[in-house]
Amino acid sequence: MMGFCIMFYINKNWKNVANGHNAVCIFGGPSSKQTKNLNTIIDNNFTITVNHNIQYYPNVSMYITADNALAREYFESEEFCLFKFNGGVMLPDRAIANYDPTPIWIQGKRHILREDLIKVICCSMFPVFNHSFTTGQLAKHYGEEFCKQVPNTHLCVEWKQDDGQHWPTLSVDLPETIQRYGKDPLKIFPGGNIASLVFQLLWYMGFDNVFTTGFGDSGTSLGYNTENYFQWSNEELHSIVAHNKIWGDRLKSLEGGELCRQYCEFPVASYDELEQNQEKKKILINKLLEL
């Protein structure tokens, strides 16, 4: 693992650490706003949220992000500047970037991240050239810096080819991605959105069941600064089928998921399947805090 500060990366101690536990994932789709008694669910269950959702659900158990701009916004404490990326190529040893020179000033929001919140950043091996741009994932060495500054922060890595391509992407048509799904937190296959990273990591951790809200919805995404109608890419649609093949009826929606059901048999969960007290959640959080 040349070039890694090994202590910050998710390792074999995380493998199956969550056996016997369930997780509730709160994504940015509109169904997250339709979930019944969501604050009570957060109190009693091991819950995970992503990206800007941490502003709305600061009391979840785990927070996962990957984007350079988002990671910087929530892991930095001071104001910083980004530039809007308008296209280009970024490789390990060189970059050609077109960007708007108008600075975008963002106030760091590290104060939102509780010390006992389990935090995961899915980093990229490269490039390092995007640090000041509104594109790409956080480069791993910046992730290592955040691990030193913010307690209980851990890193995993999304796979990328040497030419910068996110390939292979999750698909039942690409057997390698199914055979190696969730087996290596330092080689997480891209799937077009943050959910693919989350589900592969949770598979590695060995959760019995995963319940979703705000995932696979039609309509407006709430996971970004502005509410945007979310158009699913081919990569994202392929990943839905891949997740379903791996998880089967262990991955299901509390609310939403209507888009998923256009492509696979995506089960609907009952609220009765959720935990009704904090006992199991506290056990798992304590395990993770000791890793």
Q: For the chain, give the mean pLDDT.
A: 91
User: What are the residues whose beta carbons fall under 8 Å from the beta carbon of 48, sequence distance 6 or more?
Assistant: 23, 24, 25, 26, 60, 61, 62, 63, 64, 198, 202
Residue appearing with tokens 């940015």? 28
Residue 226: pLDDT band with limits 50, 70, 90: low
In the structure encoding, which two tokens stand for residue 124, read together? 């990229």
Residue 289 or residue 92, greater confidence: 289
Share of the chain above pLDDT 90, in %: 77
Is the pLDDT at 23 greater than 60, yes or no?
yes
C-beta separation of 53 from 65 below 8 A: no
User: Could you read off the pLDDT of 238-272 as tens digits, one per residue?
Assistant: 999 999 999 999 999 999 999 999 999 999 999 99
Is the pLDDT at 100 greater than 70, yes or no?
yes
* Over residues 208-235, mean pLDDT: 76
Query: What confidence score (pLDDT) does residue 165 get?
Result: 76
Burial class for 109, CB neighbours closer than 10 Å (0-12, 13-18, 19+): middle
Residue 284 or residue 226, greater confidence: 284
Residue 43 or residue 192, greater confidence: 43
* Over residues 119-141, mean pLDDT: 86
Within the chain, strands assigned E span: 22-26, 47-50, 62-65, 79-90, 95-107, 118-123, 153-157, 209-213, 220-221, 228-229, 251-253
Residue 96 or residue 250, greater confidence: 250
Query: What confidence score (pLDDT) does residue 1 get?
Result: 46
* Over residues 103-111, mean pLDDT: 97
Residue 39: pLDDT band with limits 50, 70, 90: very high
User: What are the residues whose beta carbons fall under 8 Å from the beta carbon of 119, sequence distance 6 or more?
Assistant: 62, 63, 64, 75, 113, 150, 152, 153, 154
Is the pLDDT at 216 greater than 70, yes or no?
yes
* Over residues 9-14, mean pLDDT: 97
Is the pLDDT at 130 greater than 90, yes or no?
no
Query: What confidence score (pLDDT) does residue 221 get?
Result: 59
- Rounded Cα distance, 146 and 181, in Å: 27
* Over residues 210-230, mean pLDDT: 72
Is the pLDDT at 89 greater than 80, yes or no?
no
Query: What confidence score (pLDDT) does residue 44 get?
Result: 98
Query: What confidence score (pLDDT) does residue 229 get?
Result: 53
In the structure encoding, which two tokens stand for residue 47, read together? 């819950």
The reply to whether the predicted model has a pTM over 0.85 is: yes
Bridge partners (DSSP) of residue 209 are 22
Query: What confidence score (pLDDT) does residue 2 get?
Result: 47
Q: What's 78-118 look like in SS3?
A: CEEEEEEEEEEEECCCCEEEEEEEEEEEEECCHHHCCCCCE
Listed range (187-191, 222-226, 286-290) with the worst mean pLDDT? 222-226
User: Could you read off the pLDDT of 47-75 as tens digits, one per residue?
Assistant: 999 999 999 999 999 999 999 999 999 99
Residue appearing with tokens 């690409």? 174
Helix (H) / strand (E) element for 145: namely helix 140-149
Query: What confidence score (pLDDT) does residue 149 get?
Result: 97
